[in-house]
Each structure stands twice: as structure tokens, then as C-alpha cells.
Structure 1
């Protein structure tokens, strides 16, 4: 028997409204503004939330000295089309060497790593 259910994945960031808007463009869903906390409820019912974090320092990736903590894997039907879309929305490529893999690594506008994965 489980002790708990996952309520939301929460990303600390300097501007929760801007980061919620980025992920709403990437993933769809409904944004609910609660001041320094913003929820993005996705079509499947999952919640990705964004919390204001004064003094936020983005993860460094890749870095042998600093763990990235976690990242999001986002399944897409077309890697090239999805890449063009996330770059236009403000993502930054973190790896560009091997374009033959089934995934590509980016940072969102606040610096959190995420992968686009061929789905």
C-alpha cells in the first residue's frame, strides 16, 4: 500500500509566470496563477508547478561537480520540429554533438535541463 500520491512536480525559478507560460506552449494545459506559485495542469491531469525562488541558481549540466537533481523527458513525434519549436520559445541547446540519438538535451528559460525524446 502506497503512503502517498504524487501531487505535482515543482520547479523553483526566478519567474514562475514566465516559466509556466513556456511549458504551457510546449506541453499545452491550463495555467492557474496563484501569485508566487503557478500550476500548469496537463491534459492527463498531471500538474507541473512553478514556485518563485529568491536567489535561484540554475543547475549546471553537464557538470561532474554539481548534480542536476532531475530533468523532464518530453516525448515528441518529430525531434526536428519539436526542436525548432522549443528554441523559438526560448530553450537553449545543451548538447549538439550527436544528432543521431533518440533524444536531445535543452535548458528551459530558467536553466532547468529537459530532453526531447523521439516517441
Structure 2
């Protein structure tokens, strides 16, 4: 199977909250291209370009589950990658599904993660 790309956009919360969300996805998708920094940004983005189908989807870190504020997360990629990301985040954080949109070969889902 070819590599899967997943793009994650995070808003709300702090840079540490954004890093916690990215860290929670790494057991499933491998290392992100870059973790969110402390640059004062209000929106953070991370991209995973790994073999998502070949990684277990149940290994989110318990340490990543602490958030200081609500974080809105948009995950975009193949339907399989979006489903795995949504499931991983739902196991790690308290989540509310804010909706989804599907295209021909790509899907997008928005989740609200609560502290």
C-alpha cells in the first residue's frame, strides 16, 4: 500500500496543547513532519506522511491526554486515515464530532477536544 498523508489543523488552546494532540497521533501515524512550536501562532498544522495502515491504531500516549483549553482539530486525508485519526483522538481525549465532509478520494472531519 502506498503512503498515506494526513493533515491536521489545530486551533484554540496553547502550542503545548497542539503538541499533545500531535503526540497522541504519532503512535498511529509515525512522526509528524514538524511539531507545533512556541511561535505565538493561533493555528497549528502538522502533516503525517507514513504508512498509516501498517501501524497499530490503539497506542496513544496517556501523557498526551492533558489539555489546558478546548482545541478544535480538523483532520483531512484518505477516509481510512481520517477514521484512524478520529478513533485515536476519541480514545485519548474527550471529543465532540463537529461534522465531516467527503470528496472523491479525500475526507475531512472536525473534532472539538475538551480538557
TM-score by length of 1: 0.35
Q: Which has the higher contact order (CA 8 A, sep 6+)?
A: 2
Choose between structure 1 and 2: higher helix proportion: 2
TM-score by length of 2: 0.36
Q: Which structure has the greater CA radius of gyration?
A: 1
